[in-house]
Amino acid sequence: MYVAVKGGERAIEASWRLLDEARRGDTRVPGLSVTQIREQMRLAVARVMAEGSVYDEELAALAIKQAAGDLVEAIFLLRAYRTTLPRFGYTQPVETENMVVERRISATFKDVPGGQVLGATYDYTQRLLDFALLAEGDDASATPRAPRATPREEAMPRVVSLLDKEGLIEQEKRSPQAREPGDLSREPLAFPADRTVRLQNLARGDEGFLLAMGYATQRGYAHSHPFAGEIRFGSVCVEMVLDELDEAVEIGEIDLTECQMINQFAGAKDVPPQFTQGYGLAFGHAERKAMAMALVDRALRAEELGETIASPTQDIEFMLSHSDNVEASGFVQHLKLPHYVDFQAELELVRKLRAQHESSTGADADADADEQNREAA
């Protein structure tokens, strides 16, 4: 039976105080500011913004500080705050082809229009601990802020346009009959889910889950042989149509990472052999997330491309229903809440079943003994 715990409210308040103390750590060590997190942990900030569905570096950094570095908890905090914000309208689709590029590479062509731009990346490091960082001072004013990589102002055409000119890659153009994209931030996920909804789901899906599933597609759990057509990172203009002006005006810039994966496709009776695409887009500098998203996006297109669905990575309902770390974390962590009544009910059931089993076993043993006695007589 359920037994009420006295003093639960006081215990919870004490837990809050302990949490604040644990988050702060040793007070003799200077506190970590939101500005420091925003400037020096930009990759973590980018992930929290993407999976929290809010582009605000300061709020993402605040969430990381409040969560003591637990990114899933920070994502939860940011997404919860998002629900309190008013909705003013929708911006225009961003033109990533006009991106002011800081990094842009292709694994399919050595020479691409605009050239390969390596930018700031860990790809070419040796993954050795840099102990010189231990000697860095704690005074933020001692050294000026390091400038970001010099962006390339000129527009860089997409690498896949080289294939498009020969008709070797599928055309991804919006059909006039296409419905308006759904909005997962205001409508619950429902099936069947079209590609616009799937991409929204994947964009804010857990990076680790997408990475594992994207890896699975490469290991044979999908009809996939991907090539990184293009990965680009930089800033794009955001425009919005204002009722007062009746035209689109620029309201700011955001940093994005975009990935286009090129995959093989055999074609069909009415479709000549050509390449297909997987697409990934994420806030901030998030190449691993964008690449994993593109791999999963392509796997989830199996049905529309007439491929056999033989893997969970191609199952839309499986993938979309389990990619959200906020929902997954809540469902797993709810197990920490009291389940006294449920467990006591199962405990009593197991005790009764065990008693019946022991009674039955005892009766069988007695019957066997009587049979042995008769045989001996």
* 283-335 residue pLDDT tens: 999 999 999 999 999 999 988 888 889 899 999 999 999 999 988 988 888 88
pLDDT for 228 beyond 60: yes
Whether 228 and 277 have beta carbons less than 8 Å apart is answered as: no
Residues 6+ apart with CB under 8 A from 297: 195, 198, 199, 202, 261, 278, 279, 280
Give the E-state strand segments of the chain in sequence order: 100-105, 227-242, 247-265, 274-283
All residues at 6 or more sequence positions from 64 whose CB lies less than 8 Å from its CB, including other chains? 37, 41, 44, 45, 48, 71, 74
For residue 250, what are its two tokens? 């620029």
Residue 3 has pLDDT above 60, yes or no: no
The tokens 């990076």 sit on which residue?
207
Q: Could you tell me what percentage of the chain is helix, strand and coil, using 3-state DSSP and rounding each to the nearest 5?
A: 45, 15, 40
Cα-based torsion angle of the residue sequence 61, 66, 68, 73 in order, rounded to the nearest 10 degrees: -90
Q: pLDDT band for 270, please (50, 70, 90 cuts).
A: confident
15 half-sphere exposure, CB direction, 13 A CA radius = 6
Alpha-carbon span 210 to 290, nearest angstrom: 9
Kindly list the distances between the CA atom of residue 190 and the CA atoms of 32, 214, 319, in Å, as whole numbers in the listed order: 41, 23, 13
Would you place residue 2 in the very low, low, confident or very high pLDDT band (cuts 50, 70, 90)? very low
Residue 304 confidence (pLDDT): 85
* Distance, first Cα to last Cα, the chain: 53
**3-class SS at 228?**
strand
More confident residue, 2 or 27: 27
Q: What is the pLDDT of residue 274?
A: 84
Residue of 245 and 74 predicted with greater confidence: 74
Q: Token digits for 23?
A: 């988050």
Give residue 207's Cα distance to chain centre: 4
Both structure tokens of 43: 């990759």
Inter-helix orientation angle 325-333/71-82, to 10°? 110
Please state, in angstroms and rounded to a whole number, the distance separating the CA atoms of residues 275 and 301.
13
Order of strands, sheet of 227-242, starting from the edge strand that comes earlier in the sequence: 100-105, 227-242, 247-265, 274-283
Q: Residue 301 burial (CB < 10 Å; 0-12/13-18/19+)? A: buried
